Each structure stands twice: as structure tokens, then as C-alpha cells.
């Protein structure tokens, strides 16, 4: 399946490529453009790796805004967390977040597999209730463009740990993906991306993209 060549050496693309080597399959790729904005959307399926959906969004308005977001939904284990990462870059500042989002408030696998990671350094968010679908081990960094290097290191560490967790839980003991509906509904209702998506692609597209792709089944 063809991917927009402008993705180039994207951190997330290269990391997901390693998932393909482990048995994941790229099943969906789409690129929507409204210059200077470009929105790349990709979906992988990796049942043999331990997830039923990994979706990647790379949104860029050249010189104005760039965002990379990845979410991986597990298909094994007992209420294992959902992997989520996001990097946002504006002309003068950047924000990066990585987390194992708890499912059914189950913190046991998070405390076990992220035991060596420091506790999160923020307790409030302008968009989310951090006591709901965010873990005590959420990694967050703010700053200039130099944040990307730190994000890259943290991302590679967290995603490696996440894949290790999946490989250690080969059985399925809960109903997937039904158990992920509360997470999807909450995140779709509060996602701040709606504003910038609306600005470049219109309100109808923004609502549909968030509900159907970012936190839905489109492309699966």
C-alpha cells in the first residue's frame, strides 16, 4: 500500500515499520490535502503481535503546525492499557505526551511494566480529566523544537516496553474491542484537535475524522 513519500523518515513511520517485520500489516493509507495543510492517516493490524488496530495520524501545515499521533489497541491480555503518543509542534513551542492509557481503571500492568519510569509531572489538563484515561506514568515534555529529540528517545523506550507487554500476554480474557468504547467516546468528545482540523478542513470533516478515524474503526 502506498504511503505519502513526504512522510520520509518520520519517527512513527519507522517505528511502526518494525512492527511490520514482526507480523503487523498496513491495511489503510490516506492523504488529504488543503494547502498548506496535509493530513496522512494510516492503520496497521497486528493480531500476531498482540494488537487489532494501530492508527497513525501525521498532520502538517508547513511552517505553522505539525502533529504526530499514534494509538495502539491491544487484542490480548486482561484489560491491558492502550498505547498513545502525541507530538505537537508550533513555530515557537512544542508539546509531547506518551502514555499507557488504563482500560477499566486497571493500573496493574502499567505499574508493573513502567515501574522504572518516573511518575507524571502534571496533574491538570485544560482538555482532559487525568484521573480517568491517563496513567500515573504519563510522560510529558514542553519546550522548543528540541523537545523532539527527547520525545524520540522516550517514544522508542515506551513502545518497546509496550510491545514486550503484549508479547507476554498471549491469551485474550476480555471482550476487545468493546472494552475500548468508553476510551474512544471520551477521547473523541474532548480531543482539542477539532479546532485546527476545522480551520483547515471544515467542521463536518473534523467531527467525522475524530469520531470515525482517530477514535473509531475507519480503515480497520
The CATH number given to whatever domain includes residue 142 is 3.40.1500.20
pLDDT digit string (tens) for 150-194?
998 999 899 999 999 999 998 887 888 999 999 999 999 999 999
Number of structural domains in the chain: 1
Look up the pTM and report it: 0.93
Q: What is the pLDDT of residue 18?
A: 63
* Closest to 159 (Cα-Cα) out of 113, 191, 121: 113
For residue 174, being part of any structural domain is answered with yes
Q: In which residue are the cell numbers 520520509 written?
A: 8
Q: What is the pLDDT of residue 2?
A: 47
Q: What is the pLDDT of residue 52?
A: 94
Q: What is the pLDDT of residue 6?
A: 56
Length of the chain: 220
Where would I find the H helices in the chain? 11-21, 108-113, 147-167, 181-190, 193-201, 203-208
Q: What is the pLDDT of residue 1?
A: 46
- Which ranges of the chain have pLDDT less than 50? 1-2, 8-9
Q: What is the pLDDT of residue 8?
A: 46
For residue 220, being part of any structural domain is answered with no
For residue 219, being part of any structural domain is answered with no
Count CB-CB contacts under 10 A for residue 158.
21
For residue 181, being part of any structural domain is answered with yes
Q: What is the pLDDT of residue 14?
A: 59
Q: What is the pLDDT of residue 9?
A: 46
Q: Which three cell numbers stand for residue 117?
A: 519510569
Count CB-CB contacts under 10 A for residue 162.
24
Q: Which range marks the domain in which residue 131 is found?
A: 5-214
Q: What is the pLDDT of residue 168?
A: 92
For residue 173, being part of any structural domain is answered with yes
Over its C-alpha atoms, the chain yields an Rg (Å, rounded) of 16
Q: Which three cell numbers stand for residue 201?
A: 478542513
Measured distance CA(149)–CA(89) in Å, rounded: 12
For residue 108, being part of any structural domain is answered with yes
Amino acid at each position: 500500500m502506498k504511503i505519502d513519500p513526504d512522510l520520509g523518515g518520520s519517527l512513527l513511520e519507522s517505528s511502526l515499520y518494525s512492527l511490520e517485520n514482526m507480523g503487523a500489516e498496513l491495511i489503510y493509507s490516506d492523504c488529504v490535502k488543503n494547502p498548506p495543510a496535509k493530513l496522512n492517516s494510516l492503520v496497521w493490524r497486528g493480531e500476531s503481535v498482540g494488537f487489532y488496530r494501530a492508527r497513525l495520524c501525521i498532520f502538517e501545515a508547513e511552517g505553522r503546525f505539525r502533529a504526530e499521533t499514534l494509538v495502539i489497541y491491544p487484542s490480548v491480555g486482561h484489560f491491558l492499557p492502550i498505547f498513545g503518543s502525541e507530538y505537537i509542534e508550533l513555530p515557537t513551542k512544542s508539546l509531547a505526551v506518551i502514555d499507557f492509557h488504563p482500560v477499566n481503571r486497571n493500573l496493574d500492568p502499567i505499574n508493573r511494566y513502567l515501574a522504572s519510569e518516573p511518575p507524571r509531572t502534571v496533574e491538570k489538563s485544560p482538555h482532559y480529566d487525568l484521573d480517568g484515561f491517563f496513567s500515573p506514568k504519563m510522560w510529558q515534555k514542553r519546550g522548543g523544537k528540541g523537545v523532539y529529540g527527547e520525545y524520540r528517545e522516550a517514544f522508542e523506550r515506551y513502545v518497546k516496553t509496550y510491545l514486550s507487554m503484549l508479547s507476554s500476554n498471549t491469551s485474550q480474557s476480555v471482550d476487545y474491542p468493546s472494552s475500548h468504547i468508553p476510551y474512544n467516546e471520551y477521547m473523541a468528545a474532548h480531543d482539542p484537535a477539532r479546532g485546527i482540523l476545522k480551520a483547515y478542513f471544515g467542521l463536518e470533516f473534523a467531527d467525522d475524522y475524530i469520531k470515525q478515524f482517530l477514535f473509531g474503526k475507519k480503515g480497520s
